[in-house]
Structure 1
Amino acid sequence: MISIDPKLSKLGAALKKSITLPLKPTDVILYLGASTGTTTAFLSDMVPQGFIFALELSRKMFLKLFELASHRQNIGPILADASFPETYAREISDVGQVDVIYQDVSQRHQVDIFLKNCKRFLKTNGTGILFVKARSIDVRQEPQQVFLEAEQRLAQVMKIVQKTTLEPYQKDHMVFVCCNGP
């Protein structure tokens, strides 16, 4: 398994802050915002009998992700915008729904994107992992207020199991681990 630096990776920071990921070796993950695949590779090691649908919007990043996927059996790269799940639903249709949605995107409406994808693709009692980037949502608002508003939105439809800011490793970021079941 590769190691993951908390100063370079939000997942590494979350793990360093004692967030536990409820992943099973057979889990199917939809990763929104997979970038070049560094975290995707780490997750791939955590779900060796599972599969990761790794979605990335940037063509430049996607090419690196595609290269990584060519060396790993359990990663399927998808070039698409996470804001529009209907455009990549066919890619995921073979499995129907996923066990985990893992999101790390830098878009203003990142909470909406997460909830839309959870509603469409996440199994009942599935796990949603959302990294909130406060400055991407509203650069003028205090990060704590952005986090509070995100938490309130999530709590309306999901059970928040764990949460923490990623300080001192990642500035103005928070992670939420949620369950969409009772």
Structure 2
Amino acid sequence: MYVIVGLGNPGRQYENTRHNVGFDVIDILSKNNNIEVKKIKHKALIGEGRIGNEKVILVKPQTYMNLSGQSVLDIYKYYKVNPENIIVIYDDIDLNVGRIRIRKKGSAGTHNGMRSIIYNLQFDNFPRIRIGVSKPEKGQDLASFVLSKFKKEEIEPLNETLNRAASAIEAIIKEGIDLSMNKYNG
């Protein structure tokens, strides 16, 4: 079984913002695999279904970004899933729009949602997919930047990236993380 966690903030005002790209990828996976993500459980919206031959749980924590780890910890304890089978998708300001980066494990960097997850789980050896949202302009407040919507010219490359990220997750589940990294990183 795989638990796929997309990070974001609940509420209409956060839809289509840079910080919510994790939610956006969950929506694509939901649509492509006919998995409804509407059950409220473990402080999250979740949906259970299959990708390939594997059972999956799609997760959109409803705790707000900085407390995402509370929801992920509840799910981890309840389903007793292997750390290697928890996949987290989140925004990364160090990658330009149009880029994704898949890693098997690692630190949280400057991302508060990932900090919360690693702090709550007490381990960091789970796969993650970082989605590029670019850096704020010089002097622009980071919080207001990640909560802003994408520029018109970023929408097309962003949509391609979100779909590539969803395909990368499906590849991790069906073919393994190494093949997915070889195919989608770069």
TM-score by length of 1: 0.35
Flag the structure with more relative contact order, 1 or 2, with Cα contacts below 8 A and sequence separation at least 6. Answer: 2
